[in-house]
Each structure stands twice: as C-alpha cells, then as structure tokens.
Structure 1
Amino acid sequence: MKVAIIGSALSGNKGAAAMLESAVHHLTERHPDVQISHLSMYPRSDAELNNHSNVTVMDASPLRLGVLINGGALAWRVLPFARESIESGVPEVGALAQADVLLDQGGITFVDGRTKFLIYNVASILPALFVRTPVVKCAQALGPFKTAANRALAKALLPRMAAIVSRGAVTQEHLDGLGLTNTVAGADLAFTLDVTPADAAAADAKVDASFFAAGDVVGVSPSQVLRAAAEGRGEDYVQQIVDQIDYLTETMGRPVYLVAHSTRPNEKTHNNDLPVCRLIHERVASPERVLFPDGELSSQELRSLIGRCDLFVASRFHAMVSSLATGVPTLVLGWSHKYREVLDMFDLASWALPADGVDQATFEARVSELDAGKAQVRATLADRFPAVRAKAMEQLDVIDQVAGQKPANLD
C-alpha cells in the first residue's frame, strides 16, 4: 500500500504532528508494508524529526508546491509521453501518481475569513486530482462557505474528493449546505495519539517533572493566532494572558504550566507560539511558579505533560484535544466553530468562550467555576472519550475503502 500525506508536519504546529503521527502509527499497524510519502511544508526540519523507516519526507514547501508540484502534475496529465521524465524531475508528482490515496490533513480548510489560505487549500489537493489519485480529507473543520471566492472554490473542488471526514456537527452542517454526498461524520485523528512510557520518560528528561507532583497544576496554552488577531484590534494580548496567569498563581495559588503547542526554532511567528510565550513568561508576577519549557517537544511529550494538569485553559485547538483526551477539565478560549463542535462531542460546549469576548472578570469566574466542578467534568470526559476515539478511528476504514485495501490484521 502506498499513501501520500499533505497538510500536516512533524515540526511547527504539534497538533499537525499529532495528526500525522497518529496516521502513520495506525496505517502501519493495519498495513505493515505501507509506504508513506509525506509532502511537507517544512521538509528540512521534518526530515530531521522523522524516525519512521516507512515514511519519506518530500519537499512540498509553499513555493515548490504551488509552482513545481502543481505545474508538474498538470503536465503529467496532459503529456502522457513525458510522465516518466516528470516523475523523475519532480519526485513529489511521482509519489502522488503512484499513491493509492492522498490524505489531506489540513486541520481547517475552505473557511470564510481565511482567504489567504485558500490558495494553499487548493494547491494541496489539485495535483492529486491531476494525476487521478483519490483524495480523502481527514477529519477537519470546513466552512462556512458564504464568501464568493471560498464558496466557488469549495463547490468546484470538494465534490471531487473521494471522501471528506467532518470533525463535528457544525462542519457537517456547512458541508450539507453545499449538497455534498461524499461526507462522513468523524472526529480528529489526534484523539487516537498514544503516549508510551518512553514518551513520558522523554518528557521527564526535558522538564522538572516534580513541578506536577502536587497534582494542582493549571495548564495554559496561548496562541500566536489569537495574539495577531488581538493586536489587530489594538489589544495587548500578552498582558491579557499575563493577567489570567497571575490570577491562577496569585489568587488561586496554583502553579501554571505554560504550553507552547506550536514551535519553530526561530523567531518567525507563523506556527510558532514560543515568542509570545517568552513575552508572557517575562511579565508574570511569579515566574518561579510558571513552568515554561522554552523549546520544541514532540506531540507525545506535550500530551504526556498536559495530561498531568489538574485544569487546562486552551487557546490552541490540539492542546485542547490533548487535554480532553487525557481527561483534564478544560476551559477553551477559541476563535472558530472548530472548538465548540469538538466540545459538543463531550457535551461540554458550555466551557467554550470566544477569545475576543472574554474580559478578566469573565475568565476569573469561569475558571473558578471549572475548578469547583472539575470532578463532574472529569467523569463526563471519561464517559465520552471512548466513543470519540472510536469515531476518530472509523476514518481509517474510509481510507482503506478509498485505497482499495483490506487491513492485514483483519485477514
């Protein structure tokens, strides 16, 4: 079996890494002979982090994807006599042409208000269509589709997907509004990410594990995306998070684990929460009560540490996924329907707040309320999680069906 994957990465956003790691793990478990071509937007750093012998990291950095891979795939389609030369010159096109299926793991695509990402959303799937490789859009948020450009592109391309796995009821409603018949209700594949004892030990080696010994840590995951939006409104996002952390440490008396859930080894802010976390850590009233690992941790290491928290405040989507998956009561400060529709699966949507509408008084009231009711929230998470994980696993059957494969372990 040959699989190509695009839209995720091992470096940068660790939510994307969790989706990729989960896909590789489960596909390899089901198909021991599977060969995976990972078309990465960060090929150099992903190659350094790749420890899977059956995964080949290929260069799908934005410019190469938009020009060479899309152009090469189109040439492959219209110039049959040149296909061998094209596949040799642009090996990513060859990998797509030879794949049984392309998995698009973009976490959120074809969404109004994200016009600048539309080009990448299209460029990620168009080459596979050119070379006639079926595309499965793995569980992700899509829509709404009200703006002209987004709606036109969605209506042109989404019906051509072999399957689209929605990540919640709101996304499914948006897809139904387009009249699509190729959709399947699912859940984020990152809910299936496993943390091994080796992963936990690796996390212990990178932080002071004794910080979590008392069992009262509150995790906080800020977001560079929210920072940019807040600063666009003239607000001081860093100070907002500082005030929230100071309430946790000074008033509630709780230690805080400050989580950079999207990291890159530079000062670029795209897919990088490290710069904003550094600014926050510099300003808090009691930095000695705030654990901030200033560097890159794997998605499994992050999940291991998040799972040791007593409460969690999430602004990064997949930090929320990790806290929910590990049974940690979570207050979500989000910016999209993608947060609420996942919390709906746990009947916990009341713990989602719009980040741009939360003042300090509201934050203090809600986090205190969560603390008071955490036992019931934990019970609800424990009760609902098995069904959510099972729903996430169902998309592997969709992938096998599209690829025309039967899992080896079901023979």
Structure 2
Amino acid sequence: MTAPARPHVTIIGSALSGNKGAAAMLESAMQTLEEKVGDVDVTLLSMYPAEDAAQNHYPNLAIVPAAPRQLGVTINSLALLYRLLPPLRPVLRKRSASIRALASSQVLLDQGGITFTDGREKFLLYNVASILPALFVGTPVFKCAQAIGPFTGRINRIASKLFLPRAHTIITRGRITHEYAEGLGLRNIVAGADYAFSLEMDGTERDAVAPLVDLSFFDGLAEGEGVVGICPSVVMQKKVDAAGGDYAQIIADFIASLQARGRKVALIPHSVRTGTDKTHNNDLPLCRDIFSRLPSSDGVLFVERELTSQQLRWLIGQCELFVASRFHAMVSSLAMAVPTVVIGWSHKYREVLEMFGAEEWAFGSDQLSADYLAQRFSELEGRREEVKATLDAHLPEVKATSRAQADRIAAIVRG
C-alpha cells in the first residue's frame, strides 16, 4: 500500500539570503508549519537560488530558481500551458521543478512584504507574476501579512481589482492596509500582523554571534547609557538622495552627534548579500559609506558581515534604543521591545507601530535631517522607560495575531 504523500507548501517572495526581513518571514513559516502541520515539504521559488541554497539548513526545504525573468517568462508560460493543455501536465510536472512544486502543493504562500501599491508600479509585473502561476495551476494563493494599497493609480487599481480577488486569503498587515483593501471591495481579507513577529529564537544566538561580533561592546553599561542601534536602508537612501538630500551624510552626522555625547552606537545592516557590491537587498555598501564618513570610529561597532535573522534579532535586542529605516529591522526591535525611532517611506511602518501604540515615533523621509532625527531621538531617549513598557504590554497580542495566520494556512493544507 502506497504511503500518503506528505503535505507540500510552496513559498515565493522571501529568501534566506540578502534581506533578513524576508528570511525572518520564511523561517517563521518553516517554524509554524512544522508546529501546525507536522511533517511538510516546502519549496522556495527563489530570486537568489545559489545564495539561498548555501544558507539552507532545513532538510525539508527545496530551493528552486525563480529569478524575475525566469519567473515572469518561463514559469508563467509553463503554468499557462499546464492550464490550457491538460495532456501535457505529466510532462510539465516531470520537466519543471517549479510546476511540479506548484502542482503538488496545497497552497502557495506569497510573502512579498509590500505589493500592489501606488508608487511602486515598476514592481507590479513581479507582483502579478508571483501569484499567476499558482492561479494557472489551480493552487490556492495565500498572501501572508503584507502591505497593499493605496489603489488610486489607474494601472495599479486595474491590476489589483483583477488579481487580488483571486487569492484565497490576503492577510492585511495593519489598519491602513485593511482600510485600503476594504475600499477596493476585497472580501478575502483578514486582519493580521507581520509573519516575522512569529519568529522564535532557539537560545543559541549568543554563542553563534560571539565569534563574529565583539559582544563586550555591550557589557558594563549603566541603564540609560546603553548601546544605540542604527539600521540604515539603501531604499531610503535612494528616496532621500533623489529628493536632493544626502542620506549617508545625515546618518553619519547623527552618529557623530551621539559619539560627541559619549553614547555607544552599533551600526547594523539588516539586509546583506555576501560577496557582492550590488545594492539590491544589500545595505552593507551603504553602511560602509556611512562608517567611512564618521570623524572617528570611537564608540562605534560596525557589524560588517551577514548574520541570520535570529542572530540579528538577538543582537538588536541587546540595544537600549534603536533607529530603523529597514522595515523588518523595526519589526525585530519591536519584537524585542526596544524603543525605536523609525524613518519610513510608506504606510507600512506606521500601521505596524500603531499595533504597539507607538506610531508617534515614525516620520517620513521628507522630514529627515540630522537635526530632526536628533530631536526625535532625544524625545525617545527621555521617554525610554514609558515606551518600553508600552511595547512590552502590546507584544503578546501582536505575536498572537501574527501566529494566527499559521492556523489559517494549516486549515488549507489539511483541506
């Protein structure tokens, strides 16, 4: 008698390498699927297959290449053939790892952090291409907690009204996204929280980080004089510089002002691609630039290497205060109840901070200057204990809301 096939889930939009926010979402899914479903096979349709494979320590996770052009042209074309020509399906499943994965999966998890939103039309084709193969093959699409909308732009609104209703479930990542989705008339939406809030550490992080980072930097500091963590973002740099600013210099000037006051600073890139100077999903070159502009390196710890999502979360948790431009660096600081000032560029930052009653600590790239950042940081510094207490109070509910989407995924997998 043939043993029943193990459940199978395919994931797109996240990664193990590069953007550690994407890694945190992927690893949260791996952890919660094992808990909720048991033994399960998982396939990642990967933008960086070689880099992801090198960092894959999960025996049940298969990495299948799905770079943007390959996804948009090859995988989508094969999925269309699968839909239109049923006699070809056995051949397509045999010849294409991506089609085989989708056809055998009970669900596709789309873990894109922000999709179908005005102002990001250049990513719209990828947003569609990520879910269209599953729709062609007949596999339910579950859009894990993410930001969508607004939908006022004509092209985005048309694409959103055409494709978003076809998803089985869309988890909205906050109040603003949920209101945008309701305004579009979507009925397949469920309010949730970012999947990365479900990420659990296993207690080995300190020992793993110790050979890579000088942890004595964090020792012996009095309360109120702890390390300030700073996580820049190349996405934010492009927006600020395009408007005539100099993001790297602003951050360098802010760090210098902290140095002048005797505060210790950890410069922590949260998105790193080892072995390349390309800046897509890679903040390390930006951090090197910022570090080089400092008047001295006194009191500054530059984490000049790639760490795992759990290691980064643990390290961020050692900071007393935090300044974030990367979205999932903010998620990690909130998950560790570290009071945080956030420099954001869309509603996705503010709506998550709202869940913690901390939305006042976010401001947009259009307001960014070294003086304004120093002012907001000083205000946070003065209210550190109050803000930390608020984060601690809200964290259990946010984590529970994040983990609830795993129950919904498990229900689909079980049929």
Q: Which TM class, normalised by the smaller chain length?
A: over 0.9
Please, which of 202, 215, 223 is the counterpart of residue 209 of structure 1? Answer: 215
Runs of 4+ in 1 over 6 A off after TM superposition: none
Please, which of 151, 172, 181 is the counterpart of residue 175 of structure 1? Answer: 181
Please, which of 371, 374, 390 is the counterpart of residue 400 of structure 2? Answer: 390
Q: Establish whether residue 333 from structure 1 lines up as the match of residue 343 from structure 2.
A: yes
The structural deviation recorded for 1:363 is 1.4
Please, which of 53, 57, 60 is the counterpart of residue 54 of structure 1? Answer: 60
Q: Establish whether residue 258 from structure 1 lines up as the match of residue 273 from structure 2.
A: no
Separation in 1, partners of 2:259, 2:356: 29
Specify the code of the residue in structure 1 equivalent to 2:99: V
Where do residues 279-358 of structure 1 align in structure 2 (5 Å cutoff)? 279-358=289-368
Separation in 2, partners of 1:68, 1:115: 22
Task: State the match for 1:24 in structure 2.
Answer: 30
Where do residues 242-253 of structure 1 align in structure 2 (5 Å cutoff)? 242-251=252-261, 253=262
List gaps (5 residues or longer) in structure 1.
406-411
Task: State the match for 2:201 in structure 1.
Answer: 195
CA shift in 2, pair 1:214/1:286, >3 Å: farther
Task: State the match for 1:375 in structure 2.
Answer: 385
Separation in 2, partners of 1:400, 1:305: 31
Separation in 2, partners of 1:138, 1:39: 15
The structural deviation recorded for 1:356 is 2.2
List gaps (5 residues or longer) in structure 2.
1-6
Task: State the match for 2:87 in structure 1.
Answer: 81
Q: For 2:170, what is the secondary structure of its paired residue?
A: strand
The structural deviation recorded for 1:321 is 0.5
The structural deviation recorded for 1:90 is 1.5
Where do residues 236-247 of structure 1 align in structure 2 (5 Å cutoff)? 236-247=246-257
Separation in 1, partners of 2:33, 2:210: 29
The structural deviation recorded for 1:91 is 1.3
Please, which of 50, 54, 68 is the counterpart of residue 74 of structure 2? Answer: 68
1:247-284 deviations in Å (ceiling 9; x for gaps): 11113x11111011111120001111000000000111
The structural deviation recorded for 1:404 is 3.2
The structural deviation recorded for 1:231 is 1.8
1:88-112 deviations in Å (ceiling 9; x for gaps): 2221011001100000000000011
- Residues 14, 318 of structure 1: 8 Å contact kept: yes
- Residues 36, 406 of structure 2: 8 Å contact kept: no
Specify the code of the residue in structure 2 equivalent to 1:8: S
Specify the code of the residue in structure 1 equivalent to 2:269: A
Q: For 1:197, what is the secondary structure of its paired residue?
A: coil
Separation in 2, partners of 1:55, 1:104: 16
Alignment RMSD, CA only?
Answer: 1.0
Separation in 2, partners of 1:254, 1:192: 32
Separation in 2, partners of 1:117, 1:287: 38
- Residues 68, 90 of structure 1: 8 Å contact kept: no
Separation in 2, partners of 1:75, 1:199: 46
Separation in 1, partners of 2:395, 2:408: 21
Separation in 2, partners of 1:22, 1:199: 16
Q: Establish whether residue 139 from structure 1 lines up as the match of residue 145 from structure 2.
A: yes
The total of aligned residue pairs comes to 404
1:116-167 deviations in Å (ceiling 9; x for gaps): 1101100000000000000000000000011111100000000000000000
- Residues 162, 402 of structure 1: 8 Å contact kept: no
